[in-house]
Amino acid sequence: MNENHTSPRMTVSLAGAAVFATLAALMTLANAQVPFPLIPYLQIDFSEIPIMISFFLFGPTSAIVAAVIQWLFLNVRGADAPLGPALKFAAVLSTLLGFWVGNQVYRSLKGNKVHPTFALSTMLGGGIFLRVIAMVAANYLVLVFVAPIFFGADYLGFARFTLEKSIGLHFTSDTMVLTYTLLFTGLYNLVNLLVGAVPAGLIVSPVSGSFKHITSIDAWLTRNMKS
C-alpha cells in the first residue's frame, strides 16, 4: 500500500521539479533581478520564487532537484562560473534546509492542532537563520581563501571599490572592508530570501486548497501542517 501511494507522489514531485526548474531557468534568461543597493554586484534574484513554490507544493526533494537543475544551467549560461553558480546553489540549498528544519520544529511543538501561522513562521525563521549563517561563512571563505588562492582574483579589492562607490565610505583596512562586506552580504541574503519566499507563499496559499483536485495528492505544505 505504501509503495502504491508513494509512487504517484514521487512522480508528481519530479514533474513539479522539472516544471519549476524550467521556470527558474527562464527567469534567469530574462535577467529577472535587480542590484542590491548596498553592494550592487549582488543581485536580488527572482528566479528563486519557482524553487520555493516547488518546495511548498511538492516538498524538499522536488525543490532540491529544481535547485540542482538551476545550478547546472547557471554553470552553462550564467556569469562567474563556477564560483557564482556555486554560491547561488549554496544560498538556495541552505534556505531549503532551513525551511525543512523549521518545519520539523513546528511538527515537534504544534501538539494536536494545526497552526498555519506558527508553521510558516518557523519555516521562514529556519530559512533565514541557516541561509544568513551559511552565506556569510561561504563569502568569507571565498573572499579570503578561495578567490585569491585558487583563482588569483582580488575579490576583496573589488568589494572595497564597490562599497566605496555605493555608500561613499573610505576604508582604512582590509579588515574593515571584509566586515562591511560580510555584514551587507548577510542583509542581502535576508532580503533575497524574503523576495522569494513571500511571493511564493502568496501564490501557494490559494493554490494549495485545490491542489489535490489537480494532482490527486495534497500539497506538501498542507500535509506537513496536519501531520
Contact in structure between 66 and 20 (CB atoms under 8 Å):
yes
For residue 121, the model assigns a pLDDT of 94
For residue 1, the model assigns a pLDDT of 34
- Compute the distance between CA of residue 83 and CA of residue 147 in angstroms, rounded to an integer: 9
Question: Which tens digit of pLDDT belongs to each residue from 182-226?
Answer: 999 999 999 999 999 999 999 988 887 777 766 667 788 888 887
DSSP state of 37: T
Q: For the chain, what are the domain ranges?
A: 2-31+45-226
DSSP state of 217: S
The DSSP annotation for 149-209 comes to IIS---HHHHHHHHHHHHH----SSHHHHHHHHHHHHHHHHHHHHHHHHHHHHHHHHHHHT
For residue 216, the model assigns a pLDDT of 61
For residue 112, the model assigns a pLDDT of 81
For residue 92, the model assigns a pLDDT of 97
Please state which CATH number belongs to domain 2-31+45-226. 1.10.1760.20
The DSSP annotation for 101-156 comes to HHHHHHHHH-TTS--HHHHHHHHHHHHHHHHHHHHHHHHHHIIIIIIIIIS---HH
For residue 115, the model assigns a pLDDT of 84
pTM: predicted TM-score of the whole model, two decimal places: 0.91
For residue 6, the model assigns a pLDDT of 55
For residue 114, the model assigns a pLDDT of 82
For residue 214, the model assigns a pLDDT of 63
The predicted model gives 149-166 an average pLDDT of 94
Question: Which tens digit of pLDDT belongs to each residue from 49-61?
Answer: 999 999 999 999 9
Question: Which tens digit of pLDDT belongs to each residue from 131-146?
Answer: 999 999 999 999 999 9
For residue 16, the model assigns a pLDDT of 87
User: Is the predicted pLDDT of residue 64 greater than 50, yes or no?
Assistant: yes
| Residue-averaged pLDDT of the chain | 90
For residue 13, the model assigns a pLDDT of 83
For residue 183, the model assigns a pLDDT of 97
For residue 210, the model assigns a pLDDT of 73
User: Is the predicted pLDDT of residue 5 greater than 70, yes or no?
Assistant: no
For residue 4, the model assigns a pLDDT of 47
Tell me the chain's radius of gyration from C-alpha atoms.
Answer: 19
User: Is the predicted pLDDT of residue 32 greater than 60, yes or no?
Assistant: yes
- Compute the distance between CA of residue 6 and CA of residue 19 in angstroms, rounded to an integer: 20
